[in-house]
Amino acid sequence: MLADHIRTLLQDHDCVIIPDFGGLIADYAPARIHPVRHTLAPPAKRVAFNQSLTRNDGLLVDALSAKLNLSTSQARQMVLEAVQRMNQELEAGRRTDLNGVGTFRQAPGRGLEFEYTGSENLLGASFGLPELVSRPVRATDAMLARERPAPGPQLRGRTSRAAWTWRTLGIATIVGLVLSADYMFADMQGYLPNALRLPQLNVASASAPRQQASLSSAATTRTQSPAEVPAAVTETDWDTAAPAAAPTAALPETTTPAAAAPVALQPAAKTVVVPALKPVVATVVPAAAIKPAIKAVATADQGTRKPAAKPAAKPKPPGWEKAAATNATSVASAATINSRTGRYYVIAGSYTSLVNAEKGRQALLRLGHPARVILPAPGSRQFMLSAADFPDRTSADRQANILRKRMGDLWIKQY
């Protein structure tokens, strides 16, 4: 304990006297260079011991009294006990230590010898300065550097230029592939504006839509040979076309109903176009007048040719147009989900616009999946495309594992 107080006093004072023992003197030591280790030490305080300074100056006693909250007599008694203990150690082993300060040895015929063993720099001005290691500069190194010729410019060979070219091409290829992958990913997720999207090819459906045939002039006015009629029109087609907008028919200037040529009635697979032989005048023919004309042609042909047409379709009841429109509306509404249903949906993609989501739904419909579009919930802007939906999670997971083999990344959403 006494050594700690002495070390603290040596940082602020140049001399600390231990009563009836001796005095420790701190002397300034400048920075020094070690010739062997090539180290540079900062300035410090070098501590020495003078056995003749035994008179009590009160510095150590006052420091102990202030630090330990003791009276002067108690502090003086503590110093006296410490001095007696050090003298006993010197008599017994001829050596005593003050931790962090130094070591005292009893030399025969010469009194006490002191060796400073502290590792702490007691000089406040050198606080924080470490010991530096300096490599010596040899004169031979400077001479060799002066005699060494300056390196000349080295020309790059063909190998280095080729390596630089291949490296540049490789970097450009990698950058192009990364940009292409980012563009395709953004296009698939619907993040790109319509102006930057790739042109999409509309895949025609397997079954061609039914075409509405126009009534040619051959059915009402003039006679044509069978070779001039490229295709026939069924009565069912006329039934379908009748409730729609009134069809237009090309009528010639002169009409001869009695000389009408027989027309073969077969299911039409394409639009019927009958070339006109003369300039004709377009006249609106009511839908009700078309069916009797076709029946008259078929009746006139029964005596000469075997009829090739199928039996006429059963007339449709009135109001079938309104029912068809209602069914179309229900199908369109079933393609979107506006509110929560509690079902589990297999989500194939997410879009930022309904137009893009509808394109994805049409693509899934062509693949045979019952695709539906989940409209954004409040606070969201994502239109989610569902490939299938199930009432339980087990069925949804099973179907998602099957679809992932062909469609890639899918996830399940309960909505």
pLDDT for 152: 61
Query: Which has the higher per-residue pLDDT, 396 or 258?
Result: 396
Quote the CA–CA distance of 123 and 334 in Å, as a whole number: 90
**257, pLDDT greater than 90:** no
Enumerate long-range contacts of 351-354, CB under 8 Å, 24 or more apart.
351/189, 351/190, 351/382, 351/383, 351/384, 351/385, 352/190, 352/191, 352/381, 352/382, 352/383, 353/190, 353/383, 354/383
pLDDT for 217: 43
336-337 vs 372-374, strand pairing mode: parallel
Quote the CA–CA distance of 266 and 294 in Å, as a whole number: 13
Average pLDDT over residues 272-284: 44
Q: Are 37 and 132 in contact (CB under 8 A)?
A: no
Q: Where does residue 409 rank: exposed (0-12), middle (13-18), buried (19+ CB within 10 A)?
A: exposed
Quote the CA–CA distance of 217 and 279 in Å, as a whole number: 11
**Which of 139-153, 304-318, 339-353 has the highest mean predicted lDDT (pLDDT)?**
339-353
Residue 9's closest CA among 30, 28, 26, 22? 26
Q: Where does residue 215 rank: exposed (0-12), middle (13-18), buried (19+ CB within 10 A)?
A: buried
- Three-class HEC string of 108-127: CCCEEEEEECCCCCCCHHHC
Give CA separation, 346 vs 388, 396, 406, in Å.
Answer: 5, 6, 14
Which residues make up the CATH 3.30.70.1070 domain(s) of the chain? 331-414
Average pLDDT over residues 174-181: 94
Q: Are 334 and 296 in contact (CB under 8 A)?
A: no
**29, pLDDT greater than 50:** yes
- The percentage of the chain sitting over the pLDDT mark of 90, rounded to a whole number, equals 11
pLDDT for 161: 81
pLDDT for 312: 47
Distant-in-sequence, close-in-space partners of 255: CB < 8 Å, separation ≥ 6: 220, 221, 222
**39, pLDDT greater than 70:** yes
Quote the CA–CA distance of 265 and 76 in Å, as a whole number: 138
Q: Which of 9-23, 137-151, 194-208, 362-376 has the lowest mean pLDDT?
A: 194-208
State pTM to two decimals.
0.33
pLDDT for 373: 92
Chain-wide mean pLDDT for the chain?
72
In Å, the largest CA–CA distance within the chain is 164
pLDDT for 270: 43
Average pLDDT over residues 385-393: 91
**322, pLDDT greater than 50:** no
pLDDT for 281: 44
**323, pLDDT greater than 80:** no
Question: Could you give the residue ranges of the DSSP H alpha helices within 46-157?
Answer: 59-68, 72-93, 139-147
- The percentage of the chain sitting over the pLDDT mark of 70, rounded to a whole number, equals 63
Quote the CA–CA distance of 34 and 118 in Å, as a whole number: 18
CB atoms within 10 A of CB 408: 10
pLDDT for 309: 46
103-157: pLDDT as tens digits: 888 887 778 888 888 778 888 888 888 888 887 777 676 677 777 766 666 655 6
Please say whether the structural domain 331-414 has been given the CATH code 1.10.3720.10: no
Quote the CA–CA distance of 216 and 138 in Å, as a whole number: 114
Residue 289's pLDDT band, with cuts at 50, 70 and 90, is: very low
Radius of gyration of the chain measured on its C-alpha atoms = 55
